[in-house]
Amino acid sequence: MPTTSLDPRINRMALATDVTPSEKPPLDQFGTWEVFVQARDNKPPEHAGIVHAPDAEMAFLFAKEQYSRRGRGCVGLAVVPTDAVWVSAYVEGDQNAYDALPPAGPAAGASEAYVVFHLQKRGKQHQFAGMVEAADPPAAAHAARKTLGAEVPLNVWIAPAAAMHASDEEDRDFWTTLPEKKYRDATAYKTTDKLKAFQARQGG
């Protein structure tokens, strides 16, 4: 039986409210993608969260909307499938995640580029640390230990560069209009002036 809403759009939809709900099969789900955002040129790309999407192109679009629609500016954005990310052990306190690596296996096969992210403190986001060349993620971790180990991260993420879908340099203009949108900027609302004028009219 359709209810009468205050909202004319909802009345036009003629919603049924006594529908027997259908249950989705468990785990009916788009893939999961980790998103990295670079807010400014002098800051490293940093993990921002996830999106769910059916492919890389849509993941990128959703990520752009979700993580660069508002806020502190953006000069670059990248997405990578969650299951392409190798995760190290988490260590405690002053320990180095690179000290907890299992021993390096035999050298094998052709090298490819890997992207390395470090977590410096619990509660913070993983940040881009650098790139290495290796045959597989565990080998990449050992390679990263040599060049990046001095940062003493608590946790390391490593992903193949080929799996990362990132914005190009020439895409920077996606974000140039962000600061123009004053209607969603708290500082653009001059409420105190309105209030003071009102109080003056009331006689103080």
Partner 1 sequence: MYGGGTIFETMSVQDDPASAEYQEQLAAFEARIGRGEKIEPRDWMPELYRKQLIRMIEQHAHSELIGALPEGTWITRAPGFKRKLALMAKVQDEVGHAQLLYGAAETLGKPREAMLDDLINGRSKYSNIFNYPAFTWADSTVISWLVDAGAIVNQLANARGSYGPYCRALERICAEESFHLKYGHDAVVTLATGTPKQRQMVQEALHRWWPPLMHFFGPPDRMSVHTETLMRWKVKMASNDDCRQQFLDMYVPKIWELGLTLPDPLLRKDAETGKWHYTEPDWAEFKRVINGDGPCNAERLAVRRTAEERGAWVRQALKRPEAAYVQPLA
Reduced to 3 states (helix: H, G, I; strand: E, B; else coil), residue 94 is coil
Binding mask 142-181 for partner 1 (x = CB under 8 A): -------------x-x-----------------------x
Q: Exposed (0-12), middle (13-18) or buried (19+): which is 173, by Cβ within 10 Å?
A: exposed
What are the tokens at 50?
A: 């996830």
Minimum Å distance from CB 156 to partner 1? 12
Residue 204 engages partner 1 in binding (rule: CB under 8 A): no
How far is Cα 85 from Cα 115, in angstroms, rounded to an integer?
10
In 3D space, the residue among 49, 85, 79, 42 whose CA is nearest the CA of residue 67 turns out to be 49
Residue 41 engages partner 1 in binding (rule: CB under 8 A): no
Minimum Å distance from CB 133 to partner 1? 24
Q: How many residues of this chain interact with partner 1, rule: CB under 8 A?
A: 62
Residue 191 engages partner 1 in binding (rule: CB under 8 A): yes
Integer CA distances (angstroms), 142 to 16, 63, 114, 179, in order: 59, 31, 12, 42
* Contact of 34 with 47, CB cutoff 8 Å: yes
Residue 16 engages partner 1 in binding (rule: CB under 8 A): yes
What residues line the site for partner 1 (CB under 8 A)? 3, 5-7, 9-10, 13, 15-17, 19, 21, 23-24, 26-32, 34, 47-52, 54-55, 58, 65-66, 69-72, 81-83, 85, 87, 90, 122-123, 125-126, 155, 157, 181, 183-186, 189, 191, 194-195, 197-199, 202
